[in-house]
Amino acid sequence: MATMLGGLVSGLLSLEGALAVSVAALLYYYLVVRATRYFAERGVPYVAPPVALLGNGADFMTRKRHITDVLGDMYRRFERHRFFGYFDFLSPIYVVRDLELVKQICIKDFDHFLNHRIQLDENHDPLFGRALFAMRDTRWRTMRTILSPAFTGSKMRLMFGLITTYCAAAVRTIRTEMGADGCAELEMKELFRRFGNDIVATCAFGIEINSFRDRANAFFTLGKELTNLEGFQGVKFLAFSSFPRVMRALRLRLFSAKMTSFFRHVVMDTIAQREQRGIVRHDMINLLMEARKQELRVDENENVEVGGGGAGGADKKRTVDWTDDDVTAQCTVFFFGGYDTVSTLSAFMAHELAVNPDVQERLRDEIDRVRASIGGAEKLTYETMQSMRYLDMVANETLRKWTPAPFLDRTCSKPYVLEDADGRKVQLRKGDGVWIPAAAIMRDPLLFPEPDRFWPERFAPDSPAPVDTAAMLAFGLGPRNCIGSRFALMETKAVFFFLLTHFRLEAGPRTQHPIQLKKASLAPSAEKGFWIRFRLRDAQRA
């Protein structure tokens, strides 16, 4: 032992040892000490000192608090400022808390903030690297212009039948799980994952699956893996935004090769079969096949303009050469963009309805009224559902209170000046990161009175506290907003129309209320799961 220690000491004292220690000290100084002076040198308020290497997100990384709570506390702490500084690991981020500034960045000055921070190598991460969310600059504009017609109201209408058929079948399966007392305790995230999986499979990939019966199907298990933002995968996702070059150099992939190959085969096989047999089915694969042939048209009166204009707009549309991976990537986006977010929205909505029986009663009344007027749930159309105001208010209030995406992000692509409330200015440079704390903004009592109350009536046209629509950030804001928001709302509303037609949702012995957020997950989720008791409604109505 003594010899070992002696060796170590003499090693350290050797020239090489001294050099190594100096390099490590210099690296520490440049990477940590100097980096954390960034905001102080610019006169930007920030929380000091951030934890070395982990930055201000240390509590999230070490699973002490959810990222929503970390950002929410900072949002309140800097209430006199329009923005503040945050260290995402060692990357300085400007967190913009003032709504006018948010609108400027996302809408008016969008040309300065075109891209998200994440950067993936298309060759290394062939699916997510090609997905719309990760695309940048001209490629993004071109792809968004091509894809937008696939997400208009008229295309949703065509897919609606696929969704309602599936909802009716899923409800029949759930009914078989009821005990003799007509009740079943079900975990909502799992339930809505299965709903969402099968709806995405049919609408995006053209495949019929019943995940309630075939519980371990590859679509379900790989989709769950693909959208898992818990633990290491959540941190990896943040790391791809913060150190894209390091992640690339380490040859790390966001998604496994097995997953990429599975989805690639599903999409390519489906396309090949359809081309051979001339099959036309109103789903996303069909829309993407049309887009690839440049046959996708914008319907009259449906505005799908991609903001900012400039290079890469509609003119470039005709020059795009789509690879098989481009098509597969846009289908997979349904999984990544829509599967976990929609199941999160639905799980929180079920919880709020169970613990707010008056809201559930009012919504059930609306559903019963509409169902009676159309002659049965199976006759529900997209138009009829769109006319249901209370259903819309309940979905909006859930998105406000429990937004699935706690913050939005942008990268500055052209120099930009941010001005604080006291007139102090700071110059943003190309590459600087910006976050918009959506969850904190939507719980700000100045924008949403009584923010912790579940109060759908705030969205009523005659509300005593009218909502500023720009503050509703659950689907983002401006030209880079969520392309799938119509689809998400259509799916969620249809599922609840069918569920409340057949069941009452009640708080049961395992329901955690108030909900505590699971600390290890980047996407908001309930620490103890979303357990709800389903009670069959009377046989005649069901």
Of the residues 92, 129, 338, 456, which one makes contact with ligand HEM according to CB under 6 A: 338
Give the residue with the Cβ less far from ligand HEM, 92 or 484: 484
331 among annotated binding-site residues? no
Positive/negative CA dihedral, 51, 56, 62, 64: positive
Give the residue with the Cβ less far from ligand HEM, 90 or 395: 395
CA atoms within a 13 Å half-sphere pointing along the CA-CB vector of 111? 7
Site mask, ligand HEM, residues 117-156, x = CB under 6 A?
Answer: ---------------xx----------x------------
How many Cβ atoms sit within 10 Å of the Cβ of residue 116? 18
Assigned token pair, 190: 């799992």
- What lies within 8 Å, CB to CB, of 287 at 6+ separation is 149, 150, 155, 296
Please report whether residue 55 would count as binding ligand HEM according to CB under 6 A.
no
Assigned token pair, 169: 């079948």
- What lies within 8 Å, CB to CB, of 290 at 6+ separation is 296
Select from 56, 428, 435 the least CA-distant residue to 241. Answer: 435
Please report whether residue 484 would count as binding ligand HEM according to CB under 6 A.
yes
Helix (H, G, I), strand (E, B) or coil at 223: helix
User: Of residues 509-538, which lie at the interface with ligand HEM (CB under 6 A)?
Assistant: none
User: Of residues 316-335, which lie at the interface with ligand HEM (CB under 6 A)?
Assistant: 333-334
- Stretch in the footprint of ligand HEM (CB under 6 A) among 89-97, 209-217, 347-355, 480-488: 480-488
Find the Cα–Cα–Cα–Cα dihedral 309, 118, 416, 440, rounded to 10°.
Answer: 100
Give the residue with the Cβ less far from ligand HEM, 480 or 518: 480
Give the residue with the Cβ less far from ligand HEM, 217 or 396: 396
Give the residues across from 344 on adjacent strands.
none
Of the residues 75, 94, 348, 487, which one makes contact with ligand HEM according to CB under 6 A: 487
Amino acid found at 533:
R
- Stretch in the footprint of ligand HEM (CB under 6 A) among 208-216, 450-458, 470-478, 503-511: 470-478
| CB 50, min distance to ligand HEM, A | 25
Give the residue with the Cβ less far from ligand HEM, 194 or 533: 194
Give the residue with the Cβ less far from ligand HEM, 184 or 345: 345
| CB 481, min distance to ligand HEM, A | 4
Please report whether residue 196 would count as binding ligand HEM according to CB under 6 A.
no
Please report whether residue 404 would count as binding ligand HEM according to CB under 6 A.
yes
Please report whether residue 342 would count as binding ligand HEM according to CB under 6 A.
yes
Q: How far apart are CA 527 and CA 506, in angstroms?
A: 19
Please, is 539 exposed, middle or buried when counting C-beta atoms within 10 Å of its C-beta (0-12, 13-18, 19+)?
exposed
- Contact 495/346 with Cβ under 8 angstroms? yes
- Contact 404/474 with Cβ under 8 angstroms? yes
Chain residues in the site for ligand HEM (CB under 6 A) = 132-133, 144, 333-334, 337-338, 341-342, 345, 404-405, 408, 474-477, 480-484, 487-488
| Residues annotated within a binding site for heme | 482
